[in-house]
Amino acid sequence: MLILLGIGFEVFASIFINKKQFKFLGLILTCVLSSIVIFTGFALFETYITKNTYWVLEKFNDYVFVKAPLTAATSTLLSVSGIFVIKHINSTYLSSLFKKPVLSQLILGIFIAVLWIVGYGAMQ
């Protein structure tokens, strides 16, 4: 599912995000549409193509109408806030951070681990 979300994000980013001039609307549309389309497609695949007995109508509705919008809202919030933070960080600090790949990889790894833990806790 995570790979599908990444591919969906890239497809919608190539449509909505202008490489010459960045606009938050393109990022918001990319986050929202990629989440909703991928979650809906996955639920349709599991329910009607593979006919998985676990995917009854209640599970389908939960996935499409609850989890997809929550993922869309969360990914939009994280993406927009991440860009906002990066734009407002001192440029000298940011350039020195990227000169040390170990430090930037450590920060990214901690961020991903926190998101995994929060996501796992939310699914329980």
Structure confidence at residue 61 (pLDDT): 92
Residues 6 or more apart whose CB falls under 8 angstroms from that of 9 comprise 30, 31, 34
Q: Are 5 and 34 in contact (CB under 8 A)?
A: yes
pLDDT in tens, 9-55: 888 888 888 777 777 888 888 889 998 999 999 999 988 898 888 88
Per-domain residue ranges for the chain? 2-88, 90-124
pLDDT in tens, 82-119: 777 777 776 666 666 666 667 667 777 787 788 778 77
Structure confidence at residue 66 (pLDDT): 92
Structure confidence at residue 94 (pLDDT): 63
Helix axes 2-16, 24-44, angle to 10 degrees: 140
